[in-house]
Amino acid sequence: MMRAVLVKRNEPRYEDEKNELQMNELRELAGAAGYEVISEMTQTRNPDRKYHLGRGKVEELAQIVSDLKPDKIIFHNPLSTMQIYNISETCRCETIDKFQLILEIFATRATTHRSKLQVELARLEYELPRARAVISILKKDERPGFMGLGGYEDSYAQDIKNRMTRIRNELDSIQKDNESLRAHRHSKGFSLAALAGYTNAGKSTLFNALVDETVESKNMLFTTLLPTTRSLKVRGRDILVTDTVGFIEDLPHWMVDAFRSTLDEIFLADVVLLVVDSSEPFEVIRKKLLVCHETMWDQLQEVAIVTVFNKIDLITDEELREKMDSLVYLAPNSVAVSAKTGFGFEELKEQIRNLLPEWKRVKLTIPLTEEGMSLVAWIYDEGLVHDINYTDVISIDFEARDKVINKAISLVNELL
């Protein structure tokens, strides 16, 4: 196991609780990336400056490093290239910030070709401006080995840019395949639901319990990198449920862009299940709901949202009521569940079912021929059959999308 020293920030203008939350976040992130935290240091913000790390602090850090010999120093706040360079140099230890840590987590979770490309793209986007800056710092210092770089600097940056272009092209073509897959699912009579929400809210646990199949769920952040899809049947309607990667607050734009295709699953759904951890403090839930809505809003105007208050086994009924009542304006169609105990699943399924786009119901008379039978088989595939009678003709009473009904009617007319 890799060993890390954490440097957390302390915002004097924040409440203690909020500072503690940020510390927890960094600890959890480090754990998720596979680090053992061997020491923690706090960096307090100087009111009139940015997160300037004073000489004394860096020396204190260097002492900790020489005593404990960690593999990495991890900072909560974003570091400039100059800071990374100076701290690594003084402490003789690799130094990264929270964003690089998140990238490491994504990299360890990436198992398929698509997710690996996404992670690589995000990494290159992060590296590009830094690569340029590091080279110019080294040039200024006139270090041996970096003298007379000449065209090297440009070609290095150009190389990164070329790799980014290649990855984007490849991702585009994978994205198109996914869109046709989605259209195919729709045409097969499935409705689409996606689980969304902040990381660690319990999406994967709920997903597993709802669809009764085993998808990795651990008490760590970012367990789910790739969307996973399984089917669920509610009152005869087949629903494909997709588990997605969790939202992260303050995600820089270059990361959001790289992971947009993960969010696309959410944007193309018929219903989004927005999962929140109801055992967290009210202010935290409120903030997380805001982040989710902000991230999804522009593209979600048409999509129904079910707000799932999860983990209610951890709080009292009174606490739950209070939270749900005060969050009404941020939590459309809310349902309280426990993914752990299964409480509230029936209500959740009903809520999903009620929000699915309406199908129409028709009765058709189809000739009892071979072509007629194959039309019936197709209707079974695409819709929900309520009643069917075989006499000298086939009388079928079924529910389906407009498109399916229109096609069935025109086929019947051809057969008559």
Ligand X SMILES: Nc1nc2c(ncn2[C@@H]2O[C@H](COP(=O)(O)OP(=O)(O)OP(=O)(O)O)[C@@H](O)[C@H]2O)c(=O)[nH]1
Binding site members: 197-204, 224, 243-246, 310-313, 338-340
Name which of 246 and 372 has its Cβ closer to ligand X: 246
Q: How far is the CB of 31 from ligand X (least distance, A)?
A: 12
Residue ranges at the known binding site for GTP: 197-204, 243-246, 310-313, 338-340
Name which of 83 and 204 has its Cβ closer to Mg ion: 204
Q: How far is the CB of 19 from ligand X (least distance, A)?
A: 23
Name which of 124 and 266 has its Cβ closer to ligand X: 266
Q: How far is the CB of 337 from ligand X (least distance, A)?
A: 7
Q: 369: helix, coil or strand? A: coil
Q: 92: helix, coil or strand? A: coil
Distances in whole angstroms, Cα of residue 152 to Cα of each of 145, 149, 155, 171: 12, 5, 5, 29
Q: How far is residue 207's CA from residue 210's CA, in Å, rounded to a whole number?
A: 5
Residues near ligand X, by CB under 6 A:
197, 199-205, 217-219, 221-224, 245-246, 310-311, 313-314, 338-340
Backbone angles phi, psi at 366, to 5 degrees: -120, 135
Contact 338, 344 (CB under 8 A): yes
Residue ranges at the known binding site for Mg(2+): 204, 224
- What are the residues whose beta carbons fall under 8 Å from the beta carbon of 78, sequence distance 6 or more? 97, 98, 99
Residues near Mg ion, by CB under 5 A:
203-204, 223-224
Q: How far is the CB of 107 from ligand X (least distance, A)?
A: 15
Numbers of helices and strands, H then E, in the chain: 14, 13
311 binds, among ligand X, Mg ion, none (CB under 5 to 8 A by kind): ligand X
Contact 336, 320 (CB under 8 A): yes
Number of residues assigned to the chain: 416
94 binds, among ligand X, Mg ion, none (CB under 5 to 8 A by kind): none
Q: How far is the CB of 109 from ligand X (least distance, A)?
A: 9
Q: How far is the CB of 38 from ligand X (least distance, A)?
A: 24
77 binds, among Mg ion, ligand X, none (CB under 5 to 8 A by kind): none
Residue tagged 């939350």 (tokens): 21
Q: How far is residue 302's CA from residue 300's CA, in Å, rounded to a whole number?
A: 6
- CA-based torsion, 48, 49, 51, 57: positive or negative: negative
Name which of 105 and 400 has its Cβ closer to ligand X: 105
Name which of 294 and 402 has its Cβ closer to ligand X: 294
What are the DSSP E strand ranges found in 278-320? 304-310
- What are the residues whose beta carbons fall under 8 Å from the beta carbon of 141, sequence distance 6 or more? none
Distance between start and end Cα atoms, the chain: 72
372 binds, among ligand X, Mg ion, none (CB under 5 to 8 A by kind): none
Name which of 220 and 362 has its Cβ closer to ligand X: 220
Name which of 23 and 220 has its Cβ closer to ligand X: 220
410 binds, among Mg ion, ligand X, none (CB under 5 to 8 A by kind): none
- What are the residues whose beta carbons fall under 8 Å from the beta carbon of 91, sequence distance 6 or more? 58, 61, 62, 65, 73
Q: How far is the CB of 306 from ligand X (least distance, A)?
A: 15
- Locate 144 and state its tokens: 């041996």
Torsion of CA 83, 5, 36, 339, to 10 degrees: -70
